[in-house]
Amino acid sequence: MAAAFPGPGDVAALRAAAAGGRPAGPEVASVRDTDASGVPVRIYDPAPGSAGRPLVVWFHGGGWVMCGLDTHDPVCRSLTAGSGAVVVSADYRLAPEHPWPAAPDDALTVLLWARTQALALGCDPGRVVVAGDSSGGNLAAVTALRAPGLVAGQLLVYPPLDAAMESASVSPYGEGHFHTAAHMAWYWEQYGGDPAHPHVSPLRARELSGLPRTLLVLADCDPLRDEGLAYARRLGAAGVDCAVHVYPGVFHGFLGLPLPAGRAGGPGGRGILAASRRVRGRGGRIRTGVLLHAV
């Protein structure tokens, strides 16, 4: 599978491959593009005129160097259709043209904008969730670290959380499973920033208490898997209400792929938001539940 995707080093080729065909998402009542304090965003509203709903600020994946509103349009459509939440998808600036901290600064800008616009969008400002896949999951985690009081929850889908890439899952899954360790190392290099800084590597943050309730969705055959598990353990130890789901037998990037029935519940929406199995955390476990219905 990895051979079908360009290797690291050619930004143009990677962006062209990422822009290739994807399965269309479901119909959504209202989809519109606008500007969030200078950052382009796309708003998905499943039921215009409603009120008090959760608001999801979504950050797309792509190693901080590729993808955008169009590549993740099917995922955002599935997420809003499956959850009933309004989704605001952020088109943050990409590396290497715009290295760190451009992307996390754009992410925080969109969160602040979303909070001010929540009521106008028919949402509860106290029910804002940050979410994203891969590098977007990193941005969601960093945004929650920077503004924990403004976020009611975080949904992190196979996020890279430590630029050191020293977790145990790197060795068995670093090659031959679509997303290689060489790709990830190159993405980190393009992204820039101090690898030890918590706004680059959230797993390096000294203090995690006070973060919002968290759902981590991980791929079993992913070099990033154990970073996610380590973050879940640290969140649980810090008293954060956290749930984790490891999808067996799938690799990094499964969110945008048409998986066989029963493997991961399909991309976005119901598949991501399914209740997860119990693991160790606060009070002896990390609690399960559907994040958006709990905030």
- Given a contact cutoff of 8 angstroms between Cβ atoms, the answer to whether 229 and 245 are in contact is no
Q: What one-character DSSP code corresponds to residue 162?
A: -
What pLDDT does residue 22 have? 74
What integer best gives the mean pLDDT of the chain? Answer: 86
Please report the domains of the chain, with CATH numbers, ordered by start residue.
Answer: 2-294 (3.40.50.1820)
Q: How confident is the model at residue 13 (pLDDT cuts 50, 70, 90)?
A: very high
- The residues, any chain, with a CB within 8 Å of residue 236's CB and separated by 6 or more, are 242, 279, 280, 281, 282, 285, 286
Q: Return the C-alpha torsion angle 133, 141, 235, 200, nearest 10.
A: 110
220 catalytic? Reply is no
Contacts of 257 (CB under 8 A, 6+ apart): 267
Q: Which of 183, 245, 252, 276 is catalytic?
A: 252
Q: Is the pLDDT of residue 289 over 60?
A: no
Separation between Cα atoms, residue 90 and residue 103, nearest integer Å: 10
What's the pLDDT tens digit per position in 153-172?
999 999 999 999 999 887 77
How high is the pLDDT of residue 264? 38
Q: Do the Cβ atoms of 134 and 190 come closer than 8 Å?
A: no
Instruction: Please report the sign of the dihedral spanned by the C-alpha atoms of residue 267, residue 271, residue 276, residue 281.
Output: positive
Category of 108 on φ-ψ map: left (φ > 0), alpha (ψ -120 to 50) or beta: alpha
**Is the per-residue pLDDT at 32 higher than 80?**
yes
Q: What is the mean pLDDT of residues 226-247?
A: 95
Q: Which residues contact 250 (CB under 8 A, 6 or more apart)?
A: 219, 220, 221, 259, 263, 264
Q: Please say if 252 is a catalytic residue.
A: yes
Which of residues 186 and 82 earns the better pLDDT score?
186
134, 135, 167, 201: the catalytic one is 134
User: Catalytic one among 45, 73, 106, 222?
Assistant: 222
Q: What is the pLDDT of residue 274?
A: 40
CA–CA separation, 163 vs 188, rounded Å? 6
Q: Greater confidence, 111 or 24?
A: 111
pLDDT surpassing 60 at residue 271: no
Residue 41 has pLDDT above 60, yes or no: yes
Question: What phi and psi, each to the nearest 5 degrees, are found at residue 219?
Answer: -100, 135
The C-alpha atoms of residue 78 and residue 72 are separated, in whole angstroms, by 10
